[in-house]
């Protein structure tokens, strides 16, 4: 096995069990390794970890194990996948969910591996050279841990290019299901398009936050910005909102949202309105029209995928948060999110505070919001905390 020799003094983050070894920390590779091969990581004297080699990426290696004696093989993946699945079973709020993140990559000790379960189908996304190499072992391990016989691979995330990997999609196990995949989230039916939907088909990370919106919605006028397939909108209706206006710039997403509403005859469809528009512009139009809302959700796409986009992203977050706050009735609430890796919670709070100041009203955080418990954040890997939100009340 080849050995990755660290530069002198570059072992600190590894000793804190952070799983990434950046290009700048690598002195040299002793021996030969192909992309995805397991290498031993050494400080020149001692083996500190076993990691997957990824020569094309700035993250030159991702650690599989901090135990120098652990063998990285099919059994290793069976163990790690089974442990991740078992952790979900210990959390009461995750029990009985048809839509569940089973593996949250680095935070479950499986860098580059995402697995989401929708009913009896598991969708995997492999985003690193190491994960790509162990596709079969991962599929076997998932099948064993879940009993699911249908496994679909959705490795078309653009981050693969940074690892020198082509997009890959298709069935790894089993046949496509006969009809649509539909999950029930808090009793609301939602169609999940695993082939062309965002991520693996659905934003499972917002599950708890959708329930919170539902609990706040009775009798309220709700505006859901960046609604995608209507996850928040339908929960607001389920919570007996008086009216729910939802905005998205994607017509296919809105078509699915309408179809989702039709899958839920218990909801009053006459209270829902879907608008195909750019949120930045629509918020201004609503202000010009002197519209007001009791609850506004802002769940935009990643404006800052990395640190280099932060400044521009901060302006965009400020813009929508300012517009949102200006549209609130007295006592109204803004539920606002950022899923940008490049923007930490402190900066996000500063941005929202700046927006509140400009909006001229006085506002307070009544709750801090985060991803659901099936999206854990390893304590050694704070980067895992990509989703942060604030519930702000005027
Ligand atoms: N809140 C959703 C997930 C939002 S994903 C849920 O709970 O499922 C982000 C959405 O923003 C996508 O559907 C995308 O089509 C939409 N979007 C991106 N930029 C936009 C813009 N400028 N105006 C309106 N929608 C936009």
Decide whether any atom of ligand 1 lies within 6 Å of the 280 Cβ: yes
pLDDT confidence of residue 50: 98
Per residue in 149-180, pLDDT (tens digit) is: 999 999 999 999 999 999 999 999 999 999 99
CB-based contacts of 159: which residues, under 8 Å, 6+ apart?
127
Instruction: Give the C-alpha separation, 116 to 151, whole Å.
Output: 10
Which pLDDT band, with edges at 50, 70 and 90, does 307 fall under? confident
Per residue in 102-112, pLDDT (tens digit) is: 999 999 999 99
Decide whether any atom of ligand 1 lies within 6 Å of the 283 Cβ: no
Distance 279 CA to ligand 1 centre (A): 9
Tokens of 224: 């859901």
* Residue with CA at minimum distance from ligand 1 atom 10: 226
Per residue in 114-131, pLDDT (tens digit) is: 999 999 999 999 999 999
pLDDT confidence of residue 361: 83
DSSP secondary structure letters along 124-138: EEE-SHHHHHTHHHH
* Residue with CA at minimum distance from ligand 1 atom 9: 301
Question: What DSSP designation does 73 have?
Answer: S
Q: Could you tell me which residue, 341 or 245, shows the higher pLDDT?
A: 245
* Residue with CA at minimum distance from ligand 1 atom 7: 231
Per residue in 349-363, pLDDT (tens digit) is: 999 999 999 999 889
pLDDT confidence of residue 338: 98
Instruction: Give the C-alpha separation, 292 to 37, whole Å.
Output: 57
Tokens of 167: 């997009």
- b/e map of 347-383 (b: 16 or more CB within 10 Å)? bbbebbbebbeebeeebeeeeebbbbbbbbbbebbee
Q: Say what percent of the chain tops pLDDT 70.
A: 100
* Residue with CA at minimum distance from ligand 1 atom 3: 228
Whether the pTM exceeds 0.85: the reply is yes
pLDDT confidence of residue 308: 85
Decide whether any atom of ligand 1 lies within 6 Å of the 185 Cβ: no
Decide whether any atom of ligand 1 lies within 6 Å of the 232 Cβ: yes
pLDDT at 304 over 90: no
Tokens of 286: 């609503």
Distance 51 CA to ligand 1 centre (A): 36
CB-based contacts of 189: which residues, under 8 Å, 6+ apart?
182, 183, 260, 263, 264
pLDDT confidence of residue 380: 97
What is the DSSP pairing of strand 47-53 with strand 59-65? Answer: antiparallel
Distance 249 CA to ligand 1 centre (A): 7
Q: Best of 228, 284, 338 to mutate for ligand 1, by most ligand atoms within 8 A of CB? A: 228
Contact 198, 158 (CB under 8 A): no
Which pLDDT band, with edges at 50, 70 and 90, does 305 fall under? confident
Ligand 1 atom with minimal separation from the 279 CA: 23
Decide whether any atom of ligand 1 lies within 6 Å of the 250 Cβ: yes
By the 10 Å C-beta count (0-12 exposed, 13-18 middle, 19+ buried), 191 is classed as: buried
Per the listing, tokens 């569940």 go with: 100
């Amino acid at each position: 096995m080849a050995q990755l020799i660290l530069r002198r003094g570059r072992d600190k983050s590894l000793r804190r069990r952070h799983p990434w070894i950046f290009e700048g920390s690598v002195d040299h590779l002793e021996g030969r390794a192909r992309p995805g091969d397991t290498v031993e990581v050494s400080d020149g004297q001692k083996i500190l970890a076993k990691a997957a080699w990824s020569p094309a990426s700035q993250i030159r290696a991702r650690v599989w194990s901090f135990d120098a004696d652990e063998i990285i093989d099919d059994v290793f993946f069976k163990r790690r996948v089974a442990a991740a699945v078992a952790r979900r079973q210990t959390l009461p709020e995750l029990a009985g969910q048809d839509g569940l993140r089973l593996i949250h990559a680095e935070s479950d000790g499986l860098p580059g591996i995402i697995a989401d379960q929708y009913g009896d189908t598991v969708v995997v996304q492999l985003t690193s050279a190491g994960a790509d190499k162990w596709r079969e072992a991962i599929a076997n391990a998932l099948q064993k841990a879940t009993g699911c016989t249908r496994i679909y691979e959705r490795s078309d995330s653009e981050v693969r290019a940074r690892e020198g990997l082509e997009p890959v999609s298709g069935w790894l196990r089993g046949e496509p299901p006969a009809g649509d995949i539909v999950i029930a989230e808090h009793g609301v039916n939602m169609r999940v398009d695993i082939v062309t939907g965002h991520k693996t088909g659905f934003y499972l990370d917002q599950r708890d936050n959708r329930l919170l919106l539902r609990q706040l919605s009775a009798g309220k006028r709700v505006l859901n910005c960046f609604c995608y397939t209507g996850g928040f909108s339908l929960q607001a209706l389920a919570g007996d909102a008086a009216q729910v206006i939802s905005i998205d710039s994607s017509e296919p997403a809105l078509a699915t949202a309408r179809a989702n509403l039709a899958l839920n005859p218990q909801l009053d469809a006459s209270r829902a309105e879907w608008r195909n528009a750019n949120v930045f512009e629509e918020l201004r139009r609503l202000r010009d029209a002197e519209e007001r809302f009791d609850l506004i959700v802002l769940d935009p796409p990643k404006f800052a995928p990395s640190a280099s986009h932060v400044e521009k992203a901060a302006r965009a977050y400020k813009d929508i948060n300012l517009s949102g706050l200006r549209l609130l009735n007295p006592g109204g609430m803004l539920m606002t999110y950022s899923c940008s890796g490049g923007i930490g919670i402190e900066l996000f709070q500063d941005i929202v505070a700046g927006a509140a100041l400009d909006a001229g009203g006085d506002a307070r955080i009544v709750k801090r919001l985060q991803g659901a418990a099936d999206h854990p954040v390893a304590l050694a890997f704070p980067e895992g905390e990509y989703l942060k939100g604030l519930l702000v009340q005027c």
